[in-house]
Structure 1
């Protein structure tokens, strides 16, 4: 992805960051977004690693499957800034990256990060626990949070979102497209239902309503109507748009891509 303005950068990432917080992440959205900007310079690369997570032991998990890129980086060694190269983890999406980062921060070493009561103290604890070698890491994070008013995302991450009444027994899951969470999905009896207008129009489809069913580019497809919103099967919507919907069972994510 091309380099974005700062506001574009935060706007692209915010929906995924907020969702991760609602799923129980201990990281403040403001800190996460500040860290993303600091680590990437405002560029979302195709490998979706927004926090400089290195390959490390190479132990794979539900969110990282072993993919990696080798690139140049800077490290503070013996008080000096030194250029070096390292292998960094590559991810299917930024959602996968955030979940893998939370696994890293679940280690005992980062207990003070998880328990930090404010964004400012969490930024300080990231540095104190050795997440980065930059001695000004916490100061830079706090400056970014203040400069761009990122605390506004913290309240959104704490807000409870009610599931649709007719899908209240479903499991809420993310739907990912081009590396970003593009919509909520609701997994019920092995089928993922998505809000047709929200997702369809985001993907360039013409969405309409017959009175009983949603139409996608003029074709009616099976619909659940709840609270004046039509929900359709994600595979049906994807098929009408010549996209492929695949299920990442480990991460519990629907991935949309070119068929």
Structure 2
């Protein structure tokens, strides 16, 4: 065997070993994420079985008190779930219509210059720390709402929900606008050829055609609202209590 062939084989062997090494590293990286998820689920299941041996599932779901550190311990998750659902519902009442309207405007009506300015500025809202949103809700929005609703307490789920809605508007509007922009131009042109206006085309043609992407934006907004803690802790108070 000539030296040229030996050199070529050695290079091929080195290349194959490098590719296998890279493939192994990538496999370990993917496996680590799966293993971490499985470990978290396993620990949660194990700890839950120990917890529910001492606390009944019915008490956990229906008790209206969460006082695990008191002498008279209660582990009712109902106030926590109720507060989360109420603030999420209020947030969606704000974010879904406003985010959809903004997406329709940016996709179908805004000029390229306006879109290049408004969309990045809107997405900056997603980068603001939630602590800032919490102080904004507590120190600005709550006093403003108390002028309109004098009986509103200093800590309220209404204020927290409204600010969470403002926070998730960029998620809904940006993803919805991206989904609407992916609708082919010939669909719009066909609508215009049938005599539809720009508004009719946007609402009756483009919006239904991009409903899958818009639904994904709504789901992301819902998950973001459900997982928010700092705004609720600041604006709604840190006490897990269920008011009548």
Structure 2 length normalisation: TM-score? 0.24
Structure with the larger strand share: 1
Structure 1 length normalisation: TM-score? 0.23
Could you say which structure has the larger radius of gyration?
2
Structure with the larger helix share: 2
- Greater relative contact order (Cα 8 A, min sep 6): structure 1 or 2? 2
